[in-house]
Amino acid sequence: MAIELIIFDLDGTLVDSCEDIRVALNYCFEKRGIEGFSKEEVRRMVGEGVNRLIEKALLARKVSLPFKEMIECFINYYSQHIADFSRLYPGVIETLEELREIKKVVISNKLTELSIKTLESLGIIKFFSFIAGSDFFPEKKPSPLPFIETMKRFKVLPDETLVVGDSELDIEAGKLAGVKTIAVTYGYRNRDLLKNADFVIDKFSDLVRIVKSL
């Protein structure tokens, strides 16, 4: 059965946004006199949304700060500097162009507004028919609900859908939704966390080969 819909993760899959996230996080911590984070530390913490990012960061530095204020600080700073350093991964534009006949959406654990702003800033929002962040559905990845509701929206079956992401959250959500999953190895997670995916690719452009084979 031909693929009718591809559901993409955002950070670590389409876009390397780690440095902008790190700078925003460090701004909020360092202004309070707390040591910032390395890029590797941030890579390990991202993927579950802003609330979990701040929770993990506070735990890592063993500090207690006003949680809501830290979230607001991060969102305010990050939204103003969302693509200072963020870049598309190699082959993203060319691959999306090649797959232009297939419906494409972005389902991210980033907030919807920030997801849209990221895609706009990097010039690829035109490729996507629908964009939803962690605040769009009642549940977020690894819950399958965002994928299930998106398939309903586009009237496609699980057999006609692919999920592409860089983390175990994407794979778990995809499996629970009955969808084939493709894990990318160049993102924010170690390869050993991606072993349950149906396919594993090292380059974004490898996606075309898999889509054509299904």
Q: How many CB atoms lie within 10 A of CB 33?
A: 7
Quick one: pLDDT at residue 214?
A: 86
Report CA-CA distances (Å) from 211 to 2, 4, 200: 8, 10, 13
20 as an active site residue: the answer is no
**Backbone CA torsion sign across 182, 187, 193, 195:** positive
Report CA-CA distances (Å) from 142 to 15, 98, 166: 20, 29, 13
Quick one: pLDDT at residue 1?
A: 64
How remote is the C-alpha of 128 from its chain's centroid? Answer: 14
Q: What are the structural domains of the chain?
A: 5-16+87-213 (3.40.50.1000), 18-80 (1.10.150.240)
Query: 66: Cβ–Cβ under 8 A, 6 or more apart, which residues?
Result: none
Task: For residue range 161-206, list pLDDT tens digits in order.
Answer: 999 999 999 999 999 999 999 999 999 998 898 999 999 999 999 9
Task: For residue range 104-121, list pLDDT tens digits in order.
Answer: 999 999 999 999 999 999
The two tokens of residue 151 are 């398939």
Check 9, 20, 166, 170 and give the catalytic one. 9
Q: Could you read off the pLDDT tens digit of each residue along the chain, which spans 214 residues?
A: 699 999 999 999 999 999 999 999 999 999 999 999 999 999 999 999 999 999 999 999 999 889 999 999 999 999 999 999 999 999 999 999 999 999 999 999 999 999 999 999 999 999 999 999 999 999 999 999 999 999 999 999 999 999 999 999 999 999 999 999 999 999 999 889 899 999 999 999 999 999 999 8
